[in-house]
Amino acid sequence: MKKTLLISGGRVIDPAQGIDRVADVWVRDGRILAITGGTGPGEPLPESADETLAAAGLIVSPGLVDMHVHLREPGREEAETIATGTQAALAGGFTSVACIPNTEPPIDTQAAVEFVHQKAVRADTCNVFVVACVSRNREGKELAEIGQLVEAGAVAFSDDGAPVYDAELMRRAFEYCRMFDKPILAHEEVLELSRGGVMHEGLVSLVLGLTGMPAAAEEVMIGRDTALAESTDGRLHVMHVSTAGGVDLIRAAKARGVRVTAEACPHHFTLTDEALRGFDASCKMSPPLRTAADVEAIIAGIADGTIDCIATDHAPHAPETKMLELDRAPFGILGLETAVGLSVSRLIATGRIGWPRLIEALSTLPASILGIGRGTLRPGAPADITLIDPDLTWQVDVRSFRSKSVNSPFQGWTLRGRAVATIVAGRIKYRLA
């Protein structure tokens, strides 16, 4: 039996088709059937629906795609599993996530990719796309078997958690990945410059006596990798840009025609290094929270498209590890369940970008960078759809998170905008109670 789902009367935004109007979205058999109706009443419907979601006042978006998620499985199941992490994704409005391979062991074989796919099938939540290691065992010494990993379904390559340190290996990776048209997702950090650091190097680190991670640690590596991508015609995707200088380097590289894309994380356009004044390990991440000027540059970069997409760098850690001294606590914070609220509060409510640009950054572009055939409501596409209430104000409570961990600096914050329904392949997988 083919069931038909109607999402009626919402503001349908699909940047891939240039659509931004109140309309009805029809879904059948797990795929988009049609977008009908305009602003006028009384237009004939193509047929009746088996189920209707009233979406008046809501944004109807192609399912959100988070291309930077640490699901921790295998190896760190006490912090997150593929099942819990993807539940958190659904609650945050994401229909697809790309999981980063810095697991234990790292995802650098066909078997490991297959393991993640199987776990995702069993979890039966959102789509999980695998990012596999650039280097064997993520050691930065020799290339992983990239061709076979592509055959197993890997959509991109990354040694994230650490940079690909050997410049020649990075160059080989760019060259080699070109034949599969896969991007390298790069964690940009010169480790000697940030060694021992726990926060941004600036006035706040000086006052607190904490070891700093200078902006130059990121900028120097972005400089190297844009140069390598340029000389090899490889595809570079800069992960979690955090510095104004980094944004400038990417902007300049794009202007030269380098095949570079970039992402920014909600915490990097929301918080500054001032947040560390309470010595709270839930404000410790890499790259670190920077200054107000960096935050401004990132927002400007999102607005003008220098930064293509918003990704969370969702990095769960078990509470006992975050209860350690600041220099012993691990880097990283949760992101999936606050990303929409932070993006709407910081970018839309402040008038810095409009809704179509936000949907592009959270769905269209990450889907296209990963080449996963999603991020659009075009008829025939998989019916991955997110309904967002743009005006809903809500309070962050980590105890209600579906993630297994609670390491969020946004506990207690009041945010605007939230996913209220998440539909994967035509099935409603999440509805806000």
Partner 1 sequence: MPSVPHTFDTVPQVWPHRHLLDLERLTPGEIRLLLDTAAQLKEATAGCRRKLTILAGRTIVNLFFENSTRTRTSFSLAARRLGADVVEFSASGSSLSKGESFIDTAKNLEAMGIDAVVVRHSTPGTPHLLAQHLDVGVINAGDGAHEHPTQGLLDIFSIRERLGDISGATVGLVGDIAHSRTARSNVWGLLKLGAKVIVCGPPTLVSKRWEELGVEVSHNLDNIVPRCDVLNLLRIQFERQNTRPFPSVREYAHLYAMTGERLKRARKDLLILAPGPINRGVEVTADVADCPQSLILDQVTNGLAVRMATLWLTCGNRLPQTDQAGHAQPGLSAEGTL
- Return residues touching partner 1 (CB under 8 A): 192, 195-196, 202-203, 206-210, 278-279, 320, 323-328
| CA 344/CA 358 separation, integer angstroms | 8
Would you say 168 or 320 has its CB closer to partner 1?
Answer: 320
**Chain centre distance of CA 372:** 14
Please check whether residue 396 is in contact with residue 406, taking contact to mean a CB–CB distance below 8 angstroms.
no
Q: Least Å distance between CB 271 and partner 1?
A: 17
Q: List the one residue out of 135, 162, 159 whose CA is nearest residue 146.
A: 135
Structure tokens at 424: 């994967």
Q: Least Å distance between CB 326 and partner 1?
A: 6
Q: Least Å distance between CB 321 and partner 1?
A: 9
Please check whether residue 151 is in contact with residue 181, taking contact to mean a CB–CB distance below 8 angstroms.
no
Would you say 45 or 292 has its CB closer to partner 1?
Answer: 292
Q: Least Å distance between CB 324 and partner 1?
A: 6
Q: List the one residue out of 14, 99, 23, 21 whose CA is nearest residue 63.
A: 14
Give phi and psi for 218, each to the nearest 5: -80, -45
Would you say 168 or 192 has its CB closer to partner 1?
Answer: 192
Please check whether residue 213 is in contact with residue 193, taking contact to mean a CB–CB distance below 8 angstroms.
yes
Asked if omega into 390 is within 30° of 0 (cis), the reply is no
Number of Cα atoms under 13 Å in the Cβ half of residue 214: 9
Cβ atoms within 10 Å of 118's Cβ, excluding its own = 11
In our burial notation (b when 16+ CB lie closer than 10 A, e otherwise), range 201-227 reads: bbebbeebebebbbbebbbbbbbbbbb
Catalytic residue among 66, 313, 384, 389: 313
Q: Least Å distance between CB 206 and partner 1?
A: 5
Q: How many residues does the chain have?
A: 433
| CA 339/CA 333 separation, integer angstroms | 12
**Whole-Å CA distances, 108 to 1, 113, 150, 325, 330:** 41, 8, 11, 32, 23
Would you say 212 or 335 has its CB closer to partner 1?
Answer: 212
Q: Least Å distance between CB 376 and partner 1?
A: 47
User: DSSP character for 166?
Assistant: -
| CA 293/CA 272 separation, integer angstroms | 9
> Can you tell me which residue has the tokens 């969702």?
314
Q: Least Å distance between CB 72 and partner 1?
A: 21
Please check whether residue 82 is in contact with residue 124, taking contact to mean a CB–CB distance below 8 angstroms.
no
Would you say 394 or 413 has its CB closer to partner 1?
Answer: 413
| CA 184/CA 173 separation, integer angstroms | 8
Q: Least Å distance between CB 209 and partner 1?
A: 3
Active site residue 14: no
Q: Is 388 helix (H, G, I), strand (E, B) or coil?
A: strand
Would you say 10 or 202 has its CB closer to partner 1?
Answer: 202
Would you say 167 or 203 has its CB closer to partner 1?
Answer: 203
Using only C-alpha atoms, what is the Rg of the chain? 21
Q: Least Å distance between CB 327 and partner 1?
A: 5
H helices of 79-139, where?
82-91, 110-123
Would you say 45 or 323 has its CB closer to partner 1?
Answer: 323
| CA 274/CA 281 separation, integer angstroms | 13
Which positions are catalytic?
313
